[in-house]
Structure 1
Amino acid sequence: MSHLRLAGARLLVLEDEFLIAMDVEQLCRDHGATDVVICKNLIEALDGGANYDAAIIDVMLGGESTLSFADSLRQNGVPFIFASGYTDRDDIAAAFPDIAIVGKPYSGQDLIDALTAAIGLSSGNN
């Protein structure tokens, strides 16, 4: 890759669909991420306790909402985006008006663009 937009980043991918998670992991690594942690449910994400540079979050994992987890990331200053097939975007937009929602199916470029924008916005606020 000539332009490593996620160079050195440690990322969380909260996604319960294995193939999607693996694709996202590879996409992030192709753009320079050095560590990509995949969690398929909230228990794994909460038990991880790791510091992340950013996160990609599916809104629903096995019927369970991830919005409270997303709120904890926001409170801790961790930039994130939603990447989801969840159809009721109004709920998400109301709770997280400044967070990008990339709808499934999405292109890899859309996902990387949204994630790097979120990281850029976050670092611009520090």
Structure 2
Amino acid sequence: MQDIRLDGMHVLVMEDEFLIAMDVEQLCREHGAAEVTIIRQIEDLREDGLAGEAFHVAVLDLMLGDSPTTEFANSLTERGIPFVFATGYTDVQELFGVVSDIEVVAKPYGGTDLIAALGRAIERGRDRSGGV
């Protein structure tokens, strides 16, 4: 498998479990991410003004506490920002109406699986934007 690199990218991680968030941050940095922003609750997006910030790619837990991240995921889709869902939910499409071409990485997942999914999301984003 090709080594997936996140060189120079700003990665958003939406994860309410502290240890998982730290592991994902470390994983992204090991693969070259220049910046990793961790959001542990939906309210932090609004309070910190991060909802409109430019991220290159994102890892979204489907639920942060009792709040679904699907509305924010829709805004990422509209902005052309690739992302993956990383969740313990098994029937994401049926429960949350998630678009079928968004990859879901099931918890517990391995680092290789998550980075590979991010790589595929980035490639799909490039394909949609004409290779930019």
TM-score, L = length of structure 2? 0.87
Matched with 2:101 is 98
Q: CA deviation at 1:34?
A: 0.5
Q: CA deviation at 1:123?
A: 1.2
Please, which of 78, 85, 88 is the counterpart of residue 88 of structure 2? 85
4+ residue runs of structure 1 moved beyond 3 angstroms?
Answer: none
**Map of 1:1-126 to 2, 5 A cutoff?**
3=3, 5-46=5-46, 47-48=49-50, 49-91=52-94, 94-126=97-129
User: Which sections of structure 2, spanning at least 5 residues, go unmatched?
Assistant: none
Q: CA deviation at 1:120?
A: 1.1
* Distance in 2 (alpha carbons) for counterparts of 1:58 and 1:73: 14
Report the RMSD for the aligned CA atoms in angstroms. Answer: 1.5
* Distance in 1 (alpha carbons) for counterparts of 2:116 and 2:7: 14
Map Cα deviations across residues 96-116 of structure 1 (whole Å, 9 max, x no partner). Answer: 110000010000000000001
Identity %: 48
**Does the aligned pair in 1 maintain the 2:93–2:99 contact within 8 Å?**
no
User: Which sections of structure 1, spanning at least 5 residues, go unmatched?
Assistant: none
TM-score, L = length of structure 1? 0.91
